[in-house]
Amino acid sequence: MTNQCPACSARPPPISSARPSGAKKRLQARCPARPREIVAQAGKTARVTRLRSIPRWALVLALVLAAGGALRADRAVHHGRFLSTDERAYAVLGIAVSHGHYTAQSMNDPLHWPPGTPLLFAVARKVAGAGDTDVDPAAVYAAQWAVGMALIVAVFALAALLAGPWAGVAAAAGVALYPPLQTITGDLVSEPLGALTLAVVMIALAWAWRTPAPAVWRYAAAGALTGVAILVRADLLILPFVLALVVAVSLRRAGARPALTAAGAYLACAALALAPWSVYASRARHQFTPITSSSWSSLFVGTYLPGDGRIVGVREALGDEARAYNPQIRHIENRNLRTEWILDAVAARHPGLGRSAALQRETLHNLRVYGLGHPLAFAAMQARKLDRMWIGYDRGTFHNRRAWILAVHLLLSSAGLAGLLYGIWRTRRPELWAMLVTVLTATAVNVFFVAEARHNARIFPLLVAGGAAGVALGLSRRGPAARNGPPRADAIPPDRPRAAPRRGAVAVR
């Protein structure tokens, strides 16, 4: 039987398996195109085989990353030129940190802001070689883009660790295509880095819970990462205590001693991660300062009923007092007043006290006069702050509100919460509990302090990841086999003969 070379239409003689190598050389000399064709065909087959071996979820994840990266890059490049008070503070402190200190001539209280985001901006400036004259160089927006991309990957890893790669892809897509998390790339705020660090904390806790016996060092690592997250967002200072309780309760079946040891290691390492900064801040302010000095100022604004617990409302209510205290700003309208000018005037009500102590006294006065004196109005104000935080989305600096973005926000938020609750109901997984209590704790703290729609940006990814993982885990337990378990041996009907064991099989009694 002869075959025809598809390259040159020659008909070489048949080659038997015993043909010597010399015949093969003569065949190659007669038909030189055939070896090249065989090699090309083999290479093409190998490439097709490699492509087919790539999981489909990996291809979809690559598309999600490409889309998320392109959308965030557009916002990083076409960012606004106006910088809010917080944005300018983080940018200026980034310059200061790049020179090894945490002070700035234009800032009265640099410790009002936590150090995590300024450190990120300082590293970006150093890497790019940015000068000090440009407050917001392209490097800091590139850093925000990198953090946003890392957040997509972290959300995928978190959901995939719990419920498989497709749940991770779904969560990553929700975060990558969520418009507010794209917009915030063009703002110099701490929410993107705060969202990333919280996702990493949840990954560390999920990794710790994967061991049959409590591995104390894994919980210790998760605690240290929680401390890092607090250095980015100081309002999470209560979170280690809440998550330590979740750790202890989840390990109760292993015994009281292992459960308390793991929870204690988690708390201790969170405190150790915070200790160096706490020592520095306390020495700089000459009083104990765990993270920042902003607690009493934020509490004053959040408890001031005439201002509806909002910075904008406080400006309107106390603008005249601020201008009377500082005549240099008498020509500035209320909407353009800086918050620090308002708080300076409030602190001046108690000239014998320091700024922090004066704001503490005014906050306690708000709680006594408004919280106890007008409880219904005070509770209604807290409800309005909850509405502002979640029934709204981050629009960045001076961006118009879009109805379709609000609809997407409400849909994804409610679906994520529903999926998270469904997963907890079906599985009781501690990882899902940890995500839920983190969302609730951050919400409660922000509602009591100053709640804005921007504050939901760092916990929204946890809702999406928890919702995707919760649905996948819950559905995997719905089948009758998973619900009722395998049939017992004594449940086989007596009239049904038992199958004879296969030859060579070992019977287990």
Q: What would the two tokens of residue 303 be?
A: 């408890």
Tell me which H or E stretch contains 36.
Answer: helix 33-53
Q: How many CB atoms lie within 10 A of CB 188?
A: 26
What is residue 31's predicted lDDT score, i.e. its pLDDT?
54
What is residue 414's predicted lDDT score, i.e. its pLDDT?
96
What is residue 490's predicted lDDT score, i.e. its pLDDT?
39
Mean per-residue pLDDT pooled into runs of 10, the chain (509 residues): 49 50 52 60 68 86 97 92 86 92 83 94 92 86 96 98 96 96 93 96 96 91 97 94 96 92 96 96 89 86 92 90 90 85 90 85 94 94 93 77 91 96 95 96 91 90 96 75 39 46 44
Cα–Cα distance, 168 to 153 (Å, whole number): 9
Asked if residue 187 lies in contact with residue 79, where contact means CB atoms within 8 angstroms, the answer is yes
* Count of residues in the chain: 509
Q: Which residue has the tokens 């991770």?
A: 168
What is residue 41's predicted lDDT score, i.e. its pLDDT?
67
Q: Hey, where are the domains in the chain? A: 62-293+397-471
Among residues 263, 256, 254, the alpha carbon closest in space to that of 218 is found at: 263
Distance of CA 413 to the CA centre of its chain: 14
Following CA atoms 48, 49, 55, 61 in sequence, which dihedral angle do they give, to the nearest 10 degrees?
-30
Cα–Cα distance, 330 to 476 (Å, whole number): 65
pTM of the model: 0.83
How far is CA 209 from each of CA 43, 145, 222, 238, 257, rounded to the nearest angstrom? 45, 31, 11, 22, 16
